[in-house]
Amino acid sequence: MAGSLDEYHGVDAVRFQTEIQPRYRPAVLRAVVAHWPVVREGRTSPQALAHYLKSFDRGEGAESMIGPPAIKGRFFYRDDMRGFNFDRHQETLTVAIDRLLAHLDHPDPPVFYTGSVPTDVNLPDFGRDNVLDLITRSTGARIWLGNSAVVSTHYDQSDNIACVVAGQRRFTLFPPEQLPNLYVGPLDYTMAGQPTSMVDLANPDFTRYPRFRQALDTALVADLGPGDAIYIPSMWWHNVVSTGPFNALVNYWWTDVKPWAGSPFQALVHAIMAIGEMPPERQEVWRGVFDHYVFRRNGDPMAHMAPEHRSITGPLTPRLAQYIREWLMRALGG
């Protein structure tokens, strides 16, 4: 693989926002949350961590993924692609934590993963003493619990800071431009919302996925322990391997996109439907149209129009976004 990530020590909010985030490259933030009480409890013992987390639990539901030992920790599709190699369960965090404790010494346990649980809902007082002050806003903290597991290579549309609380995690990252070499699976039928690479990073099939060798040439790898964090910019692909009988992570997502602007992913899916089957020469025409209006390769595409006459190409406001949404709904309904 290509190499390791840039590492930073003693990072504060000013340094993160002015030096690290603007580079649009992943970065390891060593010991940035080592002072958290939850990290301290995790260093003490799994039982201490469990007691600490359960003290905040308000009994709200969370989704757990449970797979048999045979999957070797890798949550993925079944061989026939008609389902997944794990089951989903709705339960409280306390139930999920107690299951982890019950299997601490099991030589070949099932794989457990309870993910993306909003702490402000499930653990409402957790954020009082476990505070990340590097970013000014986010969608709120989310906690992830499990034993040794593999999260297949995927991307997030938001920027992300992931903080290791307990256990060890290896992150392998690929730049966004490696998309053609990652052999991504279905866009609409996914394990956890985001499309994933079909390649098993631990045992890649280069006969079936030959271009993955090129992706590996660009891969960046980082090993994180309790108290460490990693910054993952939006659209960077990442594979995550967690090890240990009881590991925990807290992450924060945020985006600088206006909340009323809509989803680029949904726009992509519609473009696939509308343009994907066109003859190549017409696709090239539409590529130019997108470059002009969406990516603005030629500058402001409506600079020649008075602001009040630019309609859907004008500066995006909540009111204009609502008008565009209604216009699209009428058009799609036809």
Cβ neighbours of 252 (radius 10 Å): 20
Residue among 117, 158, 61, 89 at smallest CA distance from 250: 117
Q: Which residues form the domain of 249?
A: 3-254
Residue 17 per-residue DSSP state = I
Is 259 among the domain residues? no
Q: Per the structure, how many domains does the chain have?
A: 2
Judge if 59 and 152 occupy the same domain: yes
What confidence score (pLDDT) does residue 137 get? 78
For residue 206, give the CATH number of its domain.
Answer: 2.60.120.650
Euclidean distance between CA atoms 213 and 219, whole angstroms = 10
309 burial class (0-12, 13-18, 19+ CB within 10 angstroms)? Answer: exposed
Q: Do residues 197 and 230 make contact, with C-beta atoms less than 8 angstroms apart? A: no
Is 205 among the domain residues? yes
**Inter-CA distances, 185 with 23, 81, 198, Å:** 29, 10, 6
Copy the structure tokens of residue 94: 């306390």
What confidence score (pLDDT) does residue 1 get? 54
**Inter-CA distances, 162 with 63, 146, 212, 317, Å:** 19, 15, 26, 31
Euclidean distance between CA atoms 86 and 64, whole angstroms = 10
Cβ neighbours of 88 (radius 10 Å): 10
What confidence score (pLDDT) does residue 322 get? 92
Euclidean distance between CA atoms 147 and 161, whole angstroms = 21
Judge if 224 and 274 occupy the same domain: no
pLDDT digits (tens), the chain, 334 positions:
567 899 999 999 999 999 999 999 999 999 999 999 999 999 999 999 999 999 999 999 999 999 999 999 999 999 999 999 999 999 999 999 999 999 999 999 999 999 999 999 999 999 999 999 999 877 789 999 999 999 999 999 999 999 999 999 999 999 999 999 999 999 999 998 899 999 999 999 999 999 999 999 999 999 999 999 999 999 999 999 999 999 999 999 999 888 888 889 999 999 999 999 999 999 999 999 999 999 999 999 999 999 888 888 888 899 999 999 998 889 888 5
Q: Looking up tokens 């659209």, which residue turns up?
A: 235
